[in-house]
Structure 1
Amino acid sequence: MAVNSASRWSPGDYAKNAAFVPAMGAPVVELLAPQPGERILDVGCGDGVLTEKLVAAGARVFGVDASPEMIEAAKARGLDVAVADGQALDLPAEYDAAFSNAALHWMLDKHGVARGVFAALKPGGRFVGEMGGEGNVATIWAAVREELAERGHPVRPQDTHWYPSVEDFTATYAAAGFTDIEARLIPRPTPLPTGVAGWVRTFRSGLMDADGIPEEEQAVIGEAVERRTEAALRQPDGGWLADYVRLRFSMRKPA
């Protein structure tokens, strides 16, 4: 399966509008508990903010991401990274652990991801991470679809992401051969530092680019989506909280 056409990234926009994503990934790093000298694969490393934390723990980390722009930003941090499709990994079984934060939901070939990570791990290796789960940002998604429909643009079903249930996720990774799979959904209302409009610019511009919506109209759409979600997501202090739901997981490749 090709790389998700909606998954297009500007490192500058991401740093400005979505710095909360790696910041809230700290508990997942703690769950991974990287050890000095371990060889770790970071699947969907993005601009490398969390990859740096794994390196700081003494691990030897290799990061992959499908976005050339984000990989360039990660290389600028001095990290060992490469452009690669997480759905089609072809790596030797030399990793003690694999890690992923806020990336797997962009990879629609879920079985391809699971098989590739499994193959890259040594026997007994662990895979730990977090991704969007069932119900993630449902309020914003609904508002995006409503606004696009009103403007006469194509309205895709919510097939640009995989936001799995615990059951779906567990079955997918069990089919790849993983055991000791633990997964849970975590509702996590998340502050949006630049509001819903900034969120739409960062996380939905790729989708709108793919549908041929001009950039100037995309900004107007973002503002309109923000208005549509104001009653549900704007807080009394004027700040914004998005209805995030995360799926946090850990598992092992049998020894």
Structure 2
Amino acid sequence: MPTLRQEQPEPSSNEPHRARRTAESFGTDAQRYDRSRPGYPDTLVARVIAGSPGPEVLDVGCGTGIAARQFRAAGCAVLGVEPDARMADCARAHGLDVEVAGFETWESAGRKFDTVIAAQSWHWVDPVAGAVKAAHVLRPGGRLAIFGHVYEPPAEVAEPFAAAYRRAAPDSPLNVRPARRPLGLYQAAYAKFADRIRETGRFDEPEQWRYDWEQSYTRDQWLDLLPTTGGLTGLRPEQLTGILDAVGGAIDSLGGRFTMTYTTLATTAVLVGGS
């Protein structure tokens, strides 16, 4: 589904972290983003915490704090780093401590953490500089955990979306991609994250984790989430309306709801020594 392509880790040779206009577009409607986006499997959160030496967590690209709130609810002390002040303000409204900066240039002021997480955000970070920075701010034995969702609506929803998107934004580079793409392409992207972690020489062998789950969406719920995705955040209102009308009609033909199959992928590794 093209709207999700630049938001999920890009499986091609492109460099999403350089696409700053898209990366910083999600704060256009931070409240919608916060209410519509799904959280992360509790089993993943528990596994990250269990494999970390303590409760202090740094959330890279924390956005509105969706993952941060889950870690806080599990007993962690969380600091967020977020380049978009609009997203940071939304996270602060939930009681989170957030500093506005890009992770690569963020000043840690000597602070160290037991865990560095990046939830649906690491593809917006320079993969080489990010891994080095994570090693610098982690305590020995600390864990880096990069994770995010891969999600594709069923063909009955994805294909009408793709057709409407081509009509609304015919010059978009997203239009060269099929309506749905194989999970293996995203697994390859997470394998590349692992390669960059290995290159630092600072971490144990990275692990790849996978969690499969489902979520049901009504027509209104999906149309609420859809404008928060990377291919739509920069569209004009009339372009967006045409796409939402087409997708809404497709969901109506399915009885007004559909089930989304999610896969949450993670690349994680433990720091072997001090910085």
Which bin holds the TM-score, normalised by the shorter protein?
0.7 to 0.9
Deviation, structure 1 residue 63: 0.7
Given that 1:183 and 1:248 are in contact with CA atoms closer than 8 Å, whether structure 2 keeps it comes out as yes
Shift of residue 122, structure 1, vs aligned partner: 1.9
Query: Is there any run of 5+ residues in structure 1 with no aligned partner, and where?
Result: none
Q: Please, which of 112, 137, 141 is the counterpart of residue 152 of structure 2? A: 137
Please report how far the alpha carbon of residue 123 of structure 1 lies from its aligned counterpart in structure 2 after TM superposition.
2.3
The superposition leaves residues 201-233 of structure 1 with CA deviations (integer Å, 9 ceiling, x where unpaired) of 1224xx3454xx3213312212323445777xx
CA distance in 1, matches of 2:200, 2:252: 42
Asked if 1 retains the 8 angstrom alpha-carbon contact of 2:217 and 2:257, the reply is yes
Q: Which residue of 2 aligns with 1:168?
A: 192
Contact 2:56 2:115 in 1 (8 A): yes
* 3-state SS of paired residue (2:26): coil
1:246 paired residue number: 264
Match of 1:220 in 2: 242
CA displacement, residues 50-87 of structure 1 (integer Å, 9 cap, x when unaligned): 42343344433211122222211121222211122245
Given candidates 69, 93, 111, the residue that maps to 2:128 is 111
> What is the TM-score with the length of structure 2 in the denominator?
0.71
Q: Structure 1 residue 182: deviation in Å?
A: 0.9
Q: Relative CO higher for 1 or 2, CA cutoff 8 Å, sep ≥ 6?
A: 2
In the alignment of these two chains, the number of paired residues is 239
2:63 is paired with a residue whose SS is: coil
- Helix, strand or coil at the partner of 2:20: coil
The answer to which of 144-153 and 62-71 deviates more is 144-153
CA distance in 1, matches of 2:118, 2:192: 18
| Counterpart residue number, 1:202 | 228
Instruction: Give the SS at the match of 2:128.
Output: helix
* Matching of residues 1-255 of structure 1 within 5 Å: 1=18, 3-6=20-23, 7-9=25-27, 10-18=29-37, 21-22=38-39, 24-33=40-49, 38-91=55-108, 92=110, 94-105=112-123, 107=124, 109-133=126-150, 136-137=151-152, 144-151=161-168, 153-157=170-174, 163-165=186-188, 166-177=190-201, 178-193=203-218, 194-204=220-230, 207-210=231-234, 213-227=235-249, 234=254, 238-255=256-273
What is the CA distance between 1:127 and its match in structure 2? 1.5
Cα offset, 1:4, TM superposition: 5.0
Does the residue aligned with 2:272 lie in a helix, a strand or coil?
Answer: coil
Residues 165-218 of structure 1: CA deviation (Å, up to 9, x unaligned): 2432321322233323111344433333534422321224xx3454xx321331
Q: Secondary structure at the match of 1:146?
A: helix
> 1:17, 1:192 within 8 Å by CA — same for their partners in 2?
no
User: Is 1:28–1:129's contact at 8 Å kept on the other side of the alignment?
Assistant: no
- Taking the aligned partners of 1:4 and 1:132, their CA distance within structure 2 comes to 21
Alignment-mate amino acid for residue 208 of structure 2: A
